[in-house]
Amino acid sequence: MEKSAQPYELPAPVPQRQPRGSVLRSVSYVLFPLLVLFTILKQPVLDLLPSQHSHNDSSSSQCAQVDPLFPSENNGRLEDMYDYISTSEFKTDSIKRLSGAVQIATESYDDLGPVGEDPRWETRYAFHDYLKKTFPRVHEHMQLEFVHTYGLIYTWKGSDEDLKPVLLMAHQDVVPVPNATVDAWTHPPYSGYYDGKSVWGRGSSDCKNSLIAIMETMELFIDAGYEPKRTVVLSFGFDEEMGGRQGAGYLGPYLLKRYGKDGIAGIVDEGNGFMEAWGSVFAAPGTGEKGYTDVHITIRMPGGHSSIPYDHTSIGVLSELITKIEADQYPTYLTDENPYLKQLQCGAAHSSDFPKKIKKLLGRRESHSCRAKPDHLALEAAKESLGIKYLMQTSQAVDVIEGGVKVNALPERVSVTVNHRINNGDEPEMVWRRLTSLAKPIAKKYNLTLHAFDGTQEAAQSISLWDSPTTLRPAPITPTDIDRTTPYSILAGTTRAVYGEDIIVSPGSTTGNTDTRFYWPLTKHIFRFGPGYDPSVGPGLGKIHTVDEHISMVNHIGMVKWFTLFVRNMEEADLED
């Protein structure tokens, strides 16, 4: 348990040394004035010297923790409702609800055609029907709107129109399960199988668990007779796994038109959860999100019979370029705004096993604004893991390659897509400039025309580079003040109320991207946070996007408890923007 949930106090001033009477009597009257002068002058010097504990106290003050926050309103039915969430009866019903949601394969494919034309979108209709059947009170008491056919907005209007609404988000879709991997699953990927501890299947932890937990929370509130003062809005996109442009890309502007810029008090969407680090457990809601750009590279060269090949085919030339791209990584560094810097400060303040070298570098750190200059703190912290490294570095991944159609025909066209997640402090233009500089000498070497981000995607005898419409700058950083009432302080207090004071709440950053990219104008207070945690399983993402995705029911039920407290705490909060 933490020693204190309040900001740590500064060390007491060093007391002024007082001469003892016995000493004074032994000092000659000639030396007495010098002693008095020395005593007077010594006091400010001592006050300026750092206490032996000053570094630790400073670290702690940089990561003060919020007290557990429970609603102050004494409402017996709501208290009974909260207790009911811990019962075996609720658990049994919740297993059925989550399992049933997983059984509907709402897959998103990168090649999905327009909404209304491609029949693969229509799995969302079955999911909508399931929600209506499973949560009848929500559909009776909350206003439901369909946006761009499959996007869902539920609104529970509050009694106080002066209070900005709270917005809870999730997405309906899941990544596809390749047929070749089905046999590798412990339980079939769309079975929703419950093994006595976890629900298994695609979407169980990304993120139908969040969506179902939110809906369960609303259903419980309505059943308990809750009447909100602050409006509650639910927004569920349907294509997050392919960029969100058809779902959240319409939902965000729709809500912006209704509530206006900064018209929402706070947003909670999928994202970071809990992590074990340095002997402590952290809840690290994503208060920042990396940028994004996909760069497509196409090489067009003459074809011919493979029995009379050129020295270098288009595949060979592209391979040379890919080798150059992967040979040189982007710099690893921390801006002052990067939430991971705050997480390091929290580790230094509260974790017994925090690395001494990182703590020393953290104490010496000054603002790092020059990418060309090594950031020794970031470089040392990056040694912890790849996941940590890429919180402080723009990533590049060669993910898709196409080329060649016949073994006896020289390839006339070959292409590759390189995915980038952009570090806080970097920008897409930096990525484009770097790739252009790498492609330029290769184009010259093979007598090819270079079209770099000039709108040309295909041309004979050329190398063409262009970005996708999904390009995104790093997200604005969410304020994390706790010295006043803010959505972050409410989130932190709610988390410690549900999981105890041993949990350290710290700002975090996400390497992936979420639907929140389309909601930035609505509020400065955006949290990418999965608030479920099962200590017996430990932190983790439940194998999202891979074989054997599953979620512990302890984790899921904790999520329901969190949403019920968060909504009530936000309602009572006198928020200071």
For residues 491 and 533, the answer to whether their CB atoms sit within 8 Å is no
The total number of residues shown for the chain amounts to 577
Q: What angle do CA 421, 203, 116 make, to 5 degrees?
A: 85
Average model confidence (pLDDT) across the chain: 89
Percent of the chain with pLDDT over 70: 88
pTM as predicted:
0.86
Token pair, residue 36, equals 């008095």
Average pLDDT of span 215-239 = 97
Q: How many CA atoms lie within 13 A of 376 on its CB side?
A: 10
Q: What DSSP designation does 238 have?
A: S
Average pLDDT of span 31-36 = 34
| pLDDT number for residue 541 | 62
pLDDT tens across 379-402, in order?
Answer: 999 999 999 999 999 999 999 999
Average pLDDT of span 54-75 = 74
Domains and CATH numbers, the chain: 1-61 (no CATH), 76-288+475-572 (3.40.630.10), 289-467 (3.30.70.360)
Judged against a pLDDT cut of 90, whether residue 467 lies above it is answered with: yes
Q: Write out the binding residues for Zn(2+).
A: 171, 206, 241, 269, 545
| pLDDT number for residue 483 | 86
Average pLDDT of span 139-165 = 97
Catalytic residue among 107, 216, 240, 515: 240
Q: Give the burial string for 1-27 (b: 16+ CB within 10 Å, else e).
A: ebeeeeebeeeeeeeeeeeeeeeeeee
173: annotated active-site residue: yes
CA distances to 22, 26, 44 from 39, rounded to whole Å, are 16, 17, 10
| Alpha-carbon span 468 to 114, nearest angstrom | 17
- Write down the residue that tokens 């993120």 correspond to: 207
The amino acid that residue 488 corresponds to is Y
Judged against a pLDDT cut of 60, whether residue 500 lies above it is answered with: yes
Phi and psi torsions of 269, nearest 5°: -130, 175
| pLDDT number for residue 13 | 32
Helical (H) or strand (E) element with 241: none
Average pLDDT of span 98-107 = 98
Q: Write out the binding residues.
A: 171, 206, 241, 269, 545
Band of the pLDDT at 370, cuts 50, 70, 90? low
502: annotated active-site residue: no
